[in-house]
Amino acid sequence: MGTVGIGIFHAYTVFTRPPVVAARFTAAILFAGIQAAGAQSNDILFNYPQTVLNGPVSATVSIPLLESCRKLCSTRSGCIGFDYSSSGGICRLFSAVVRGEDSQDHTAGTRSLIPGYRPPTNSPAPPPPEVVAVQPPPASFSRFINRDLTSNSIASMAAQDIDQSETMCRSTSSSCRAYTYDAWNRKCFLKGETGQLLMNARAISGVISDLGTPSSSGAPVHIEYFNGKAFSGSGFRVLASPNRDACGNECWNIEQCVAFGFTNSQRRCVLFDQPGEYFSSRGTDSGAKRQN
């Protein structure tokens, strides 16, 4: 016999009763102790019906009820598990559980899940799924070359290029929905709304792609002149022209052309579809299509 209640088992050894009477007496004493202790603790054992345990046994007790065996284990911190034989009324307490095996006339309970064995009837609830913060993908922009936007600016700042302008708009979260980059003056204008597209040779505009393509303005197109200025770049066509106005007419009649430069001394006309920054150049006059 084990050593669960030393005082109880000592009391048992001093009686000289027949074995059956002694067993009943011991069970009665143990059961009375279980009832008192059980009122102060909760059943925290996993249920394994039709299971016998394997491992070091700390005590073996004859008890008439399965629940009495369960309470005896649950009230003792050193009890890792128990199994109970329904045919013999034998309760075994374990200090460790190595494994579980199928047995028709046994019921077991353990404080921890039996590794490699079938799940208990009262399996623990799965932990809630981990909440992972997902960053929304960065907004993508549709770009419109040689186009300004009619909407008012919510902010303006210096920018080295179109990519920096787009980054500025994206970093302002949902308040910026579009932008216009003035390539000649290297300045970015952030927009809270898109408005309409306006022809402007110095501008590149970006609009959040999900918003679609803004409508084009119906404002009249005119030529904006820059006397004593020349555009950087080689243009898409070079031709001879008698004067600035004739060079401007060549550009006006070609849809691809948004700007031109005329050098008087050479009678040289250069047509641009995307002019670079203008710079001072004596003897050269330039112009660009524009809507206001």
Same domain as 90, residue 19: yes
Look at residue 124 and tell me if it is in a domain: no
Look at residue 128 and tell me if it is in a domain: no
Same domain as 185, residue 228: no
Look at residue 205 and tell me if it is in a domain: yes
Proportion of the chain in helix, strand, coil states, percent, rounded to 5: 20, 40, 40
Mean pLDDT computed over 109-130: 91
Q: What whole-number distance in Å separates Cα of residue 58 and Cα of residue 2?
A: 6
pTM for this one?
0.54
Same domain as 105, residue 77: yes
Same domain as 88, residue 106: yes
Same domain as 199, residue 229: no
Same domain as 277, residue 244: yes
Identify whether the C-beta of residue 255 lies closer than 8 Å to the C-beta of residue 281. Answer: no
pLDDT computed for residue 173 by the predictor: 66
Express each pLDDT in 171-183 by its tens digit. 886 789 999 999 9
Express each pLDDT in 59-82 by its tens digit. 999 999 999 999 999 999 899 999
Percent of the chain with pLDDT over 90: 74
Q: Which two tokens stand for residue 18?
A: 């027949």
Domain range for residue 235?
Answer: 221-291
Look at residue 149 and tell me if it is in a domain: yes
Look at residue 132 and tell me if it is in a domain: no
Same domain as 84, residue 63: yes
Q: Which residue has the tokens 């799965």?
A: 126
Closest of 119, 46, 57, 113 to residue 90, by C-alpha: 57
Express each pLDDT in 154-203 by its tens digit. 999 999 999 999 999 988 867 899 999 999 999 999 999 999 999 999 99
Q: Which two tokens stand for residue 229?
A: 């200025």
Mean pLDDT computed over 18-38: 38
- CATH number of the domain to which 279 belongs: 3.50.4.10
Greatest Cα pair distance, the chain, in angstroms, is: 138
Q: What whole-number distance in Å separates Cα of residue 35 and Cα of residue 128?
A: 36
pLDDT computed for residue 133 by the predictor: 83
Look at residue 76 and tell me if it is in a domain: yes
Look at residue 160 and tell me if it is in a domain: yes
Same domain as 99, residue 16: yes
Q: Which two tokens stand for residue 144?
A: 């419109």
pLDDT over threshold 50, residue 42: no
Within its chain, how far is the Cα of 281 from the centroid?
A: 55
pLDDT computed for residue 137 by the predictor: 78
Total domain count for the chain?
3
Same domain as 106, residue 32: yes
Q: Which two tokens stand for residue 5?
A: 């209640």
pLDDT over threshold 60, residue 34: no
Identify whether the C-beta of residue 271 lies closer than 8 Å to the C-beta of residue 254. Answer: yes
Same domain as 207, residue 250: no
Which of the four pLDDT bands, split at 50, 70 and 90, describes residue 43? low
Same domain as 266, residue 191: no
Mean pLDDT computed over 99-115: 95
Same domain as 156, residue 66: no
Query: Please, what is the average pLDDT of the chain?
Result: 85
